[in-house]
Amino acid sequence: MFAQEQTHLRNWINGEFVDPVSSDVAPAKYLPVTSPYNAKVIGHVPLSTVEDVNRAVAAASAAFPAWSKRTVKDRAAILIRFHSLLTKHLDQLADIVVLENGKNKAEALASVLKGQETVEYALSLPQVVQGKMLEVSRGVTCYDTRCPLGVVASVVPFNFPVMVPMWTVPIAIAMGNTMILKPSEKVPFTMTKIVELLKEAGVPDGVVNLVHGTAEPVNALIDHPDVKAVTFVGTSHIAEAVSQRAHRLNKRVLALGGAKNHMVSAPDCNIEMTSTDVVNSYTGCSGQRCMAATVLLTIGHQQELIDKIVAKSQALRAGSQAGQVGPVIDQASVNKITRYISESEASGAKILVDGRSWTKEHQEGFWVGPTVILHTNKQDAALNEEIFGPVLSILAVESADEALEIENANPYGNAACIYTNSGATADHFVKRFSAGMCGVNIGVAVPREPFSFGGWNKSRFGNHCDITGDGGVEFFSTRRKVTTKWVPQENASWMS
């Protein structure tokens, strides 16, 4: 899959791969990267330092004046070529996602295509980012234009190696910014391929730079005075810390965090459709999606729905083909997921489908199978905390009010869904869920462009709303307001 020289990854700065900076006393450090399918080491990622970030910011700063002076049409034209290159390399990119992240091939292909959708939105920006203009008094006209911010940084998680970086890169650069991306150290290969495609498309050197590593380069990016804005996607406690650090420096920041998404099944829901949708939602990408269904609250005890969910979960097989369930990212993740299952069992929950069997059956790799837990104790940690694996917690509640009370009390607020055949019931829940992205009969209710993506509560921190779509345009630009007068006015008031 990778050429020998690529197995020790290098940063991408000013349009070329460069080794991480070694200090006078020690060589650069690397972390092994493993494939979740078999735990084999597939390469090494450098632990970049402040010096590496300084080099990348210098390159991005140098590229900014020329890039920002180009028209948005000119920048979008380059993204049209990038879009074609993504299509040309779709299969190869999906294979890298499978190898380093553990998705099945169909999920990997879909994730690259979803990333490509945000490129499509970005290349349409010449049609949607015009400012407004109004004669505000006789002879006096105001207009506004969107200006780029300068150098921006984007820090991304492991679970979507292409799609999440594509939430920021295309819009940020189409709006005239230059940027530094910090991929997840667990999946560093896909974006290493993508930066080469950006160059092939015509993105000038220094416009997109890539610095590998973990916390040190992230903090260095936030602290660097020439980095004007930071986006982050990852766990909530780090998102909150990133947001606070950026706030202290009065820096623009959007930090998306973790999730605990509640699904509510009303007694009138379509049982066949609901069971299929819930199983797809909680097992898709092995449950490693911030939009995955994790808690199903049934209004009343819905045995037929539970039986179907159990049967559909038991029918799933481990593997990398479409319809199969892949591994989770690493051993720490296996340990965390199985701990939640065991703790629920110990507190009296029934494990209706037990994914721990996959952990025992597989000699190699990081496996936990689909798991369905029927809880009786509302305090079970599995019901309340983010697990990030293929685990569904089911709890029967007595009423719509009790379902909403549980959903509203959870500290996260990414997504929530109501399964019903009644428009009135759907409306009731959608208006009362404490979540930024709501679904009606859709367990993975991802808003698509031009809508933006973003949760509420502890699923999103920062002083700007959402990512992708019009929220992305808002985040990656600032407005210049201009007021003009060309003709002297008779009887002019102080306003004119």
Find the shortest distance in angstroms from Cβ 436 to ligand NAD. Answer: 9
Cα(405)–Cα(401) distance, rounded to whole angstroms?
Answer: 6
Site for ligand NAD (CB under 6 A): which residue of 174, 238, 318, 395? 238
Contact set for ligand NAD, span 426-485 (CB under 6 A): 455, 459
Cα(377)–Cα(389) distance, rounded to whole angstroms?
Answer: 21
User: H or E stretch including 52?
Assistant: helix 50-69
Contact set for ligand NAD, span 144-203 (CB under 6 A): 155-159, 164, 182, 184-185
Residue 82: φ, ψ to 5°: -60, -40
Which amino acid is residue 311, in one-letter code? A
Catalytic residue of the set 269, 285, 290, 417:
290
Pairing of strands 227-233, 11-13: unpaired
SS3 content of the chain, % helix, strand, coil (to 5): 40, 20, 40
Binding mask 282-311 for ligand NAD (x = CB under 6 A): --------x---------------------
Specify the residue, 80 or 465, whose C-beta has the smaller distance to ligand NAD: 465
Asked if 233 is part of the footprint of ligand NAD (rule: CB under 6 A), the reply reads: yes
Cα(294)–Cα(383) distance, rounded to whole angstroms?
Answer: 8
Binding mask 109-148 for ligand NAD (x = CB under 6 A): ----------------------------------------
Find the shortest distance in angstroms from Cβ 238 to ligand NAD. Answer: 4
Specify the residue, 46 or 258, whose C-beta has the smaller distance to ligand NAD: 258
Distance from the Cα of residue 306 to its chain's centroid: 30
CA distance readout (Å), 358 to 11, 236, 338, 365: 37, 29, 11, 10
Contact 263/295 with Cβ under 8 angstroms?
yes
Specify the residue, 242 or 305, whose C-beta has the smaller distance to ligand NAD: 242
Find the shortest distance in angstroms from Cβ 237 to ligand NAD. Answer: 8
Find the shortest distance in angstroms from Cβ 66 to ligand NAD. Answer: 29
Find the shortest distance in angstroms from Cβ 222 to ligand NAD. Answer: 8
Find the shortest distance in angstroms from Cβ 186 to ligand NAD. Answer: 6
Total of chain residues touching ligand NAD, rule CB under 6 A: 27
Site for ligand NAD (CB under 6 A): which residue of 96, 149, 208, 218? 218
Helix axes 105-123, 90-101, angle to 10 degrees: 120
CA distance readout (Å), 208 to 101, 117, 148, 204, 256: 23, 19, 15, 8, 22
Contact set for ligand NAD, span 243-262 (CB under 6 A): 256-259
* Residue range at the interface with ligand NAD (CB under 6 A); choices 199-207, 235-243, 300-308, 429-437: 235-243
Q: Which residue is nearest to ligand NAD (CB)?
A: 234
Find the shortest distance in angstroms from Cβ 167 to ligand NAD. Answer: 8
DSSP for 87-153 reads: HHTHHHHHHHHHHHH---HHHHHHHHHHHHHHHHHHHTHHHH----EEEEETTEEEEEEEE--SEEE
* Residue range at the interface with ligand NAD (CB under 6 A); choices 234-242, 335-343, 431-439, 444-452: 234-242
Specify the residue, 218 or 309, whose C-beta has the smaller distance to ligand NAD: 218
17 has which bridge partners? 12
Q: Is 414 exposed, middle or buried (0-12, 13-18, 19+ CB in 10 A)?
A: buried
Asked if 28 is part of the footprint of ligand NAD (rule: CB under 6 A), the reply reads: no
Specify the residue, 116 or 333, whose C-beta has the smaller distance to ligand NAD: 333
Cα(409)–Cα(345) distance, rounded to whole angstroms?
Answer: 23
Cα(66)–Cα(61) distance, rounded to whole angstroms?
Answer: 10
- Per residue, what are the HEC states of 263-323? EEECCCCCHHHHHHHHHHHHHHHHHCCCCCEEEEEEECCCHHHHHHHHHHHHCCCECCCCC
Residues ≥6 apart with Cβ < 8 Å to 334? 328, 359, 366, 367, 368
Specify the residue, 174 or 210, whose C-beta has the smaller distance to ligand NAD: 210
Binding mask 377-416 for ligand NAD (x = CB under 6 A): ---------x-x-------------------------x--
438 is catalytic: no
Find the shortest distance in angstroms from Cβ 159 to ligand NAD. Answer: 5
Specify the residue, 48 or 359, whose C-beta has the smaller distance to ligand NAD: 48
Find the shortest distance in angstroms from Cβ 213 to ligand NAD. Answer: 7
Asked if 281 is part of the footprint of ligand NAD (rule: CB under 6 A), the reply reads: no
Residues ≥6 apart with Cβ < 8 Å to 363? none
- Cα of first residue to Cα of last residue in the chain, in angstroms, is 67
E-assigned strand segments in 302-429 = 350-353, 371-374, 391-397, 415-419
* Residue range at the interface with ligand NAD (CB under 6 A); choices 11-19, 76-84, 101-109, 213-221: 213-221
Chain residues in the site for ligand NAD (CB under 6 A): 155-159, 164, 182, 184-185, 214-215, 218, 233-235, 238, 242, 256-259, 290, 386, 388, 414, 455, 459
The set of catalytic residues is 290
